[in-house]
């Protein structure tokens, strides 16, 4: 969720809570004041009625009324000092409906005579008036909250605009293109400070990337040449007739180490270049034809190990990726399947429009299958540099491909799945 939305949500929740609490408190105070005023009004009316009764001795021992809202009933004797006050409803012939009333009922002794007095007051209608006022205040409060919410959103959007512009520029930043950030000036000091720090950090990242790339390239040239010289001299020494068998084995071992070091150097350089996005160019590679070509190039190694090849290749499949990386990917998968296969085992290569499966016969791995794509995991091969499958995994990640490993029926399976956006299937092979 965006920062602006979170801020507005907290503001809205806080405002609604405050509005509800304020409305509840206001309602309580309003009804309290109304009830108090009605009660005081009826007590004043009670005193006036008692004065009227006391001042009119001609009244007989029979019920009588003072208007429509006061009823006086003589009783035999005075029984209680309690005063009852309750809400009720009476039928109003004029309005043809029940009308709310508040009735005050009590007993009183006047001029040595006992009376039961009832006083009705339509002041309860004032509650409806006050209730309407509370609802009106509540609606006005909601309108004010809504207005301030949208005003806050409007002004917050303007205030936070430099922040979102900075995020957009960071998302477009590409270290490979040596691009520089140019932020808009803001009236907020904190945003200007943030922008300056971002410029400083991205400039440092760009410089470090440039230095790393130069180091990688220099390492490639500076290392490969001495290794080539050492390899050449070792090969010359091996041709000498003066070497003892022990010396020949030592020279051969040194040559193997040089070759392994050279291969590791090339693999690390390739991984670095992939991670630095130096293979951005993509095109539809004829994957089926590429696999056929690679199998032909590796035919000598296949025959030397007496492998049975079971190929199910759809040559109409084209895969969108960098051609050089596609070549490396297929080479490493096939080479791995040949190198780690059993003598006389089976080499499986199956290509469809949705996946590529490369499998080989062999014993279970000495390491967990989840670690097979990690760097320098050599399995049970001492002469491996442990980078082949790591390169495969990195190429797949770079090309938005999914690769999985499985061991099933004494067979190692590498399953490469394609997304529909990256596969093109031609009508002709």
Torsion sign (Cα): 252, 258, 262, 265: positive
* Residue 318 is assigned to a structural domain of this protein: yes
> Do residue 9 and residue 108 come from a single domain?
yes
> Do residue 298 and residue 386 come from a single domain?
yes
User: Which CATH number goes with the domain that contains 241?
Assistant: 1.10.287
> Do residue 118 and residue 26 come from a single domain?
yes
Distance between CA atoms of 156 and 183, rounded to whole angstroms?
A: 19
* Residue 10 is assigned to a structural domain of this protein: yes
> Do residue 417 and residue 326 come from a single domain?
yes
* Residue 176 is assigned to a structural domain of this protein: no
Between 420 and 55, the higher pLDDT residue: 420
> Do residue 81 and residue 202 come from a single domain?
no
Query: Which pLDDT score is estimated for 106?
Result: 82
Asked whether the predicted pLDDT for residue 265 surpasses 70, the reply is: yes
- The mean per-residue pLDDT over the stretch 195-224 comes to 78
> Do residue 268 and residue 288 come from a single domain?
no
- The mean per-residue pLDDT over the stretch 324-342 comes to 91
User: Which CATH number goes with the domain that contains 420?
Assistant: 3.30.565.10
> DSSP class of residue 378?
-
Query: CB of 338 within 8 A of CB of 306?
Result: no
Q: Which of 223, 247, 274 is the last residue of a domain?
A: 274
Distance between CA atoms of 306 and 304, rounded to whole angstroms?
A: 6
Query: Which pLDDT score is estimated for 227?
Result: 81
* Residue 175 is assigned to a structural domain of this protein: no
> Do residue 291 and residue 212 come from a single domain?
no
* CA separation, residue 66 to residues 69, 94, 157 (Å): 7, 20, 69
> Do residue 304 and residue 238 come from a single domain?
no
Query: Which pLDDT score is estimated for 132?
Result: 72
For the chain, first and last CA: distance in Å? 49
The per-residue pLDDT of the chain, averaged, comes to 80
> Do residue 306 and residue 414 come from a single domain?
yes
> Do residue 254 and residue 294 come from a single domain?
no
Query: CB of 412 within 8 A of CB of 357?
Result: no
The highest-confidence range among 148-152, 161-165, 294-298, by mean pLDDT, is 294-298
Query: Which pLDDT score is estimated for 382?
Result: 43
Asked whether the predicted pLDDT for residue 318 surpasses 90, the reply is: yes
Between 235 and 41, the higher pLDDT residue: 235
Asked whether the predicted pLDDT for residue 304 surpasses 50, the reply is: yes
* Residue 117 is assigned to a structural domain of this protein: yes
- The count of structural domains within the chain is 3
Residue 202 exposed, middle or buried by CB count within 10 Å (0-12, 13-18, 19+):
middle
Global pTM reads: 0.51
* CA separation, residue 116 to residues 110, 171, 237, 352, 399 (Å): 11, 87, 136, 103, 98
> Do residue 121 and residue 231 come from a single domain?
no
* Residue 150 is assigned to a structural domain of this protein: no
Q: Which of 274, 299, 322 is the last residue of a domain?
A: 274
Between 106 and 130, the higher pLDDT residue: 106
Q: Which of 230, 249, 274 is the last residue of a domain?
A: 274
The highest-confidence range among 73-77, 191-195, 274-278, 315-319, by mean pLDDT, is 315-319
Give residue 293's domain range.
281-425
> Do residue 226 and residue 322 come from a single domain?
no
Distance between CA atoms of 124 and 356, rounded to whole angstroms?
A: 85
* Residue 91 is assigned to a structural domain of this protein: yes
* Residue 161 is assigned to a structural domain of this protein: no
Tokens of residue 293, six digits: 């070509």
- The mean per-residue pLDDT over the stretch 56-72 comes to 65
């Amino acid at each position: 969720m965006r920062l602006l939305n979170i801020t507005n949500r907290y503001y809205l929740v806080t405002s609604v809570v405050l509005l509800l609490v304020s409305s509840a408190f206001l309602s309580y105070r309003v009804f309290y004041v109304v009830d108090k005023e009605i009660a005081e009004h009826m007590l004043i009316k009670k005193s006036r009625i008692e004065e009227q009764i006391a001042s009119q001795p001609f009244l007989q021992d029979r019920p009588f009324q003072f208007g429509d809202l006061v009823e006086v009933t003589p009783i035999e004797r005075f029984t209680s000092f309690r005063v009852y006050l309750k809400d009720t409803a009476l039928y109003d012939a004029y309005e043809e409906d029940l009308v709310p009333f508040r009735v005050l009922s009590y007993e009183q002794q006047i001029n040595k005579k006992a009376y039961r007095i009832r006083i009705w007051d339509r002041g309860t209608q004032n509650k409806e008036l006050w209730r309407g006022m509370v609802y009106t205040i509540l609606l006005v409060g909601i309108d004010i909250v809504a207005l301030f919410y949208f005003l806050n959103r409007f002004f917050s959007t303007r205030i936070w605009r430099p922040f979102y512009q900075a995020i957009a520029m960071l998302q477009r930043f590409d270290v490979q293109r040596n691009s520089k950030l140019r932020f808009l000036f803001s009236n907020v000091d904190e945003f200007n400070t943030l922008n300056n720090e971002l410029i400083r950090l991205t400039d440092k990242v760009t410089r470090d990337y440039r230095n790393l790339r130069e180091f990688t390239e220099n390492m490639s040239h500076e290392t490969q040449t001495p290794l080539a010289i050492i390899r050449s001299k070792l090969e010359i020494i091996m041709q000498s007739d003066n070497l003892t068998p022990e010396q020949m084995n030592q020279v051969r071992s040194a040559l193997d180490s040089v070759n392994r070091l050279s291969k590791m150097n090339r693999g690390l350089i390739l991984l670095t270049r992939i991670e630095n996005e130096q293979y951005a160019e993509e095109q539809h590679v004829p994957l089926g034809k590429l696999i056929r070509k690679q199998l032909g190039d590796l035919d000598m190694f296949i025959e030397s190990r007496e492998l049975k090849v079971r190929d199910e290749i759809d040559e109409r499949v084209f895969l969108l990726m960098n051609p050089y990386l596609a070549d490396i990917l297929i080479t490493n998968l096939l080479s791995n399947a040949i190198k780690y296969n059993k003598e006389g085992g089976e080499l499986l290569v199956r290509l469809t429009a949705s996946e590529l499966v490369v499998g080989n016969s062999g014993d279970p791995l000495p390491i967990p299958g989840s670690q097979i794509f990690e760097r320098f995991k050599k399995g049970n091969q001492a002469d491996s540099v442990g980078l082949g499958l790591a390169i495969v995994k990195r190429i797949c990640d770079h090309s938005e491909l999914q690769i999985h490993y499985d061991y099933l029926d004494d067979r190692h399976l590498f399953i490469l799945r394609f997304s529909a956006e990256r596969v093109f299937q031609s009508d002709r092979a």
